[in-house]
Amino acid sequence: MTVKKPAKGAAKGAGASGSSSGQGSGPGGGQRQLRVRVKTAKKRKTSSTRWLERQLNDPYVQASKREGMRSRAAYKLSEIDDKYKFLKPGQRVVDLGAAPGGWSQIAADRVRSIVGAGAGRGQVVAIDYLGVEPLPGVEIVMLDFTDPTAEAKLKALLRGGGADVVLSDMAAPTVGHTRTDHLRIMGLAEQAAHFACDVLAPGGVFLCKVFQGGTARELLDVLKRNFGTVRHVKPPASRSDSAELYVLATEFRGEKPVE
């Protein structure tokens, strides 16, 4: 499965009206593209109207529907991997915070955990405390990653007890208080990083959602000590007005984790 970059386009929806805004060039290119306007409704808050309008006009949302992807977020992993090419056939991948399953879909496709059995087949193990509908080639654990039994359960599922890639798109529900939200996401990122250092094979890769302003010093130091290269990445699919950012650590040194 190759995920095409969505063109700037739009779809029509209930209660929406379109206005012309030029030609598209990607999937569906050549067709007249419409910008969807959502009329305010008595019972809908202005913020909900704005959200709806943004969804209807978001080319990634449109592409995810068209291409059967579980989430818009799938394009973030797809774009990061298109650039850095760390997902390879046969690898074992752990997807932390997997629901509804977009990243797992991309990983399963790229490590070839879907087709056939036998040598060369990859593996994807996914965890979320929310349910994930079954996905071909993905083993799903429904559990809080911070649960004391979670890491052992993931390891027990992994072939050989180890992984080649650890992905984390985990994000706790925001409370709207920036500092609290930042601390919660960084807490999850730190736990994910320690798990990655524990489970990755030498040469392994860790990709994790953090927050703009960068990765907390302590976490960055742990990653720099344990990986050959550490960089921050913001794929085009990550909205520019969002504080979301990813840290990509490659070439895991594979020594005993340095705390």
Ligand X SMILES: C[S@@+](CC[C@H](N)C(=O)[O-])C[C@H]1O[C@@H](n2cnc3c(N)ncnc32)[C@H](O)[C@@H]1O
Active site residues: 209
Give the side-chain half-sphere CA count within 13 A for 228. 9
Would you count residue 144 as binding ligand X (CB under 6 A)? yes
Nearer to ligand X, 41 or 142 (CB): 142
Q: Which of 163, 169, 208, 247 binds ligand X (CB under 6 A)?
A: 169
- When asked if residue 181 is in the footprint of ligand X (CB under 6 A), the reply is no
Among 126, 138, 170, 199, binds ligand X (CB under 6 A): 170
- Binding of ligand X by 145 (CB under 6 A): yes
Q: How far is the CB of 123 from ligand X (least distance, A)?
A: 18
Answer yes or no whether residue 192 interacts with ligand X by CB under 6 A. no
d(CA 93, CA 104): 9
DSSP string, 34-95: EEEEE---TTS-HHHHHHHHHHHH-HHHHHHHHTT-S-TTHHHHHHHHHHH----TT-EEEE
Is there binding between residue 78 and ligand X (CB under 6 A)? no
146 sits near ligand X (criterion: CB under 6 A): yes
For ligand X (CB under 6 A), the number of binding residues is: 23
Residues with Cβ within 8 Å of 216's Cβ and at least 6 positions away in sequence, in order, are 186, 189, 190, 210
Q: Which is nearer to ligand X, 16 or 73 (CB)?
A: 73
- Distance separating alpha carbons of residues 117 and 123, to the nearest angstrom: 11
Contact 201, 254 (CB under 8 A): yes
Q: Which of 157, 158, 171, 243 binds ligand X (CB under 6 A)?
A: 171
Please report, as residue ranges, which positions from 220 to 259 form the binding site for ligand X (by CB under 6 A).
none
Locus of tokens 């809908």: 44
Binding-site string for ligand X from residue 52 to residue 71, where x marks contact by CB under 6 A and - marks none: ------------------xx
What residue has token string 């500092």? 179
CA proximity to 185, closest of 220, 211, 167, 166: 211
Closest by Cα among 20, 21, 26, 23 to 7: 26
Q: Nearest approach, Cβ of 158 to ligand X (angstroms)?
A: 17
Q: Is residue 81 a contact point for ligand X (CB under 6 A)?
A: no
The stretches of 135-177 forming alpha helices (DSSP H) are: 150-157
**Applying CB under 6 A, which of residues 24, 59, 101, 204 lies at the interface with ligand X?**
101
Q: Minimum distance between the CB of residue 34 and ligand X, rounded to whole angstroms? A: 27
Note the residues at the interface with ligand X (CB under 6 A): 70-71, 73-74, 97-103, 127-130, 144-146, 169-172, 188
